[in-house]
Structure 1
Amino acid sequence: MAENRASVYAEGVPCWVDAQLPDLAAGRRFYGELFGWTFDEVTPASESTVWGCKDGSPVAGLTYKADGRMPTVWTLYFATPDAQRLCGRIIAVGGQVVTPPEPVGDLGTAALAADPDGAVFGLWQTRRHRGFGRRHETGTFVWAELYTRDTEAANAFYGGLFHDALFGPDAEPDFGRAPVSDVFPAEMPPHFLVHFRVADCAAALGAVQRLGGRVQAPVFEASYGRVAVVTDNQGASFALLER
């Protein structure tokens, strides 16, 4: 397993992403060819979770989805030093806890929560796994956009939870907020859309289609770069971002 040399991320900073997939082998082939990832087993005996790596550093997780009723999705995780305490704060300001904090071996503690509009996100309290070993590079996480029905309410919710990460003097926000209707049909539920950086958005779109994925939204200009929204060959949505 590659050693993660990333520093500990401050609370509220996006620190990890993973995809829940019904066919892990197919996911490895798709993302390995699209982004050039190699893969490490999380534990030597594990067949349910692998880490996608760039140059030996972990950049994303792929997890086997055993329950077909669960969605096939990419999930964004925010760093926290205390997942239990943060869950209490989330409930206090109108959010909800979907999955309470649970240890993930000796890697850390994970939880799932939802904001008042229903967008689901993860929390990660580090132990051995500190999160992204690389980010903002080609083939790695670079941005997440929250598509929501009420951007002002979203700003208040996340700004209250993660004020320093979003608005503090050293803030380098890795996620933004936009109305669902900017890109998706109005009936689309609020959600976080994970973005991976690519050198050429048009070329990456061609690769997605060749590998069995599909295009949800062709290339468009956003305030943070050129974006296209796609799904992989199992239906998990994500975005390609050219900067």
Structure 2
Amino acid sequence: MAVQPEGTPCWADAMFSDLKGAKRFYGDVLGWTFGESSPQYGNYTQAYAHGKAVAAVVPPMPGQEGRSQWCLYFASPDAAATARRIRECGGEVLLEPMRVADFGTMCLAREPSGAVFGVWQAGTHEGFGATATPGAYCWAEVFTREPEQADTFLASVFPYRMRELQDDAVDFRMFDIGEDTVLGRMRMTEDFPPEVPSYINVYFAVDDCDTAVARAVELGGVLRFGPVSSPFGRFAALSDPQGADFSVIDITTTEGRMPAIRDV
């Protein structure tokens, strides 16, 4: 795939203390295969779906052990300029822009309400080799208790147009680049334990949501929500055996009418 427009989700990775366990789990649930680990890059290992690069797994650096978490990266033509905007808009740069050989330049940051994300300035590695196909990244949502902070920050750092659902029962916004909706934002409700911080929930596409959920639970994953059908697909929220949250969605199985949406 070509380099994506600024602000488009373009890559996802996660650290796992048990790298073999992560490979076994996601290989069985999402059908991933894995490339060779790169010792010179901390044993960073790419995952593939039907031969296309879709994500990566990596063991933690010494001192970084802890609960695993998926990190979503947003495309940037200039990671250093994006890092400056992140600071100016109230975010925190956790890892300064760092060149990774000729693959590209990465940066890690935290938005003001607490969700951690990455920035990727593509070199030879342009990002996802496929999206919205079984096993590949499909969608992501920022879950936060401080939506006003998150909305203002995201729309200031990236060239987003904001829209929101016309539904009094849910506080949900969407971020568009041109005609494409690339990200969602959901206000966290009291259903979330207070100790759960803001985070970005990554969705991976599957052929059959219920089958993927059953396999995940069988392998030690925890079902957090669903499966439920929606106008966007049948989906469920899960945690893997090492605590990383993610969702699966079958975008071919839809139900109900599309909700009304208005510009913000």
Please give the TM-score of this superposition, normalised by the length of structure 2.
0.83
Whether contact under 8 Å (1:225, 1:241) holds in the other structure is: yes
Letter in 1 for 2:147: T
Pick one of 208, 229, 232 that aligns with 1:200. Answer: 208
Structure 1 residues 125 and 12, CA gap change in structure 2 (3 angstroms): same
How many pairs does the alignment contain?
237
SS at match of 1:195: strand
Counterpart in 2 of 1:105? 101
In the other structure, the counterpart of 2:192 is 184
The partner residue of 1:228 within 230, 236, 240 is 236
SS in 2 for 1:152: helix
Bigger mean CA deviation after superposition, 145-154 or 37-46: 37-46
In the alignment, is residue 36 of structure 1 matched against residue 31 of structure 2? yes
Aligned equivalent of 2:13: 18
CA positional deviation for 1:183: 5.3
Q: Which consecutive unaligned segments of at least 5 residues does structure 2 have?
A: 162-174, 252-264
What letter corresponds to residue 4 of structure 2 in structure 1? Answer: Y
The code of the aligned residue for 1:25 comes to: K
Query: How far is 1:81 from its partner?
Result: 1.1
Q: Residue 259 of structure 2 corresponds to which residue in structure 1?
A: none
What is the correspondence of 1:65-104 to structure 2 with a 5 Å cutoff?
A: 65-66=60-61, 67=63, 69-104=65-100
> What is the percentage of aligned positions where both structures have the same residue?
37
Distance in 2 between residues matched to 1:87 and 1:46, nearest whole Å? 22
Query: Residues 95 and 45 (structure 1 numbering): CA distance in 2 closer, same or farther, change over 3 Å?
Result: closer
Q: Deviations over 1:60-107 (max 9, x none)?
A: 000111335443111000010111110100111111101111122221
| Cα distance between partner residues in 2 of 1:60 and 1:160 | 27
Secondary structure at the counterpart of residue 143 of structure 1: strand
TM-score, with length taken from structure 1: 0.89
Q: Which runs of 5+ in 1 are unaligned?
A: 1-5
Aligned residue number for residue 3 of structure 1: none
Residues 57 and 133, structure 1, Cα contact 8 Å, conserved in 2:
yes
Classify 1:182/1:133 alpha carbon distance in 2 versus 1 (closer, same or farther; 3 Å): farther
- Separation (CA, whole Å) in 2 of partners of 1:182 and 1:197: 27
Q: Is the 8 A contact 2:176 2:182 kept in 1?
A: no
Note the C-alpha offset of 1:51.
0.6
**Structure 1 match to 2:2:** 7
Distance (whole Å) between structure 2 residues aligned to residue 183 and residue 174 of structure 1? 25
Cα drift, residue 174 of structure 1: 2.7
CA distance in 2, matches of 1:78, 1:213: 27
Amino acid at match of 1:127: G
**Secondary structure of 1:163's aligned partner:** coil
Distance 1:182 1:219, change over 3 A: farther
User: Cα distance 1:229–1:183, how it changes in 2: closer, same or farther (>3 A)?
Assistant: farther
Give the conservation status (yes or no) of the 8 Å contact 1:20–1:72: yes
Are the structure 2 counterparts of residues 161 and 171 from structure 1 closer, same or farther at C-alpha, using a change threshold of 3 Å? farther
Deviates more, 1:11-20 or 1:158-167: 158-167
User: How has the CA–CA distance of structure 1 residues 183 and 60 changed in structure 2, closer, same or farther, with 3 Å as cutoff?
Assistant: farther
Within the alignment, does 1:212 sit opposite 2:220 as a pair? yes
CA contact (8 A) 2:70 2:202 kept: yes
Separation in 1 of the partners of 2:8 and 2:124? 18
Alpha-carbon spacing, 1:130–1:105, altered in 2? closer, same or farther (3 Å): same
What is the Cα-based RMSD across aligned positions, in Å? 2.1
Would the alpha carbon gap of residues 23 and 61 (structure 1) be closer, same or farther in structure 2, given more than 3 Å must change?
Answer: same
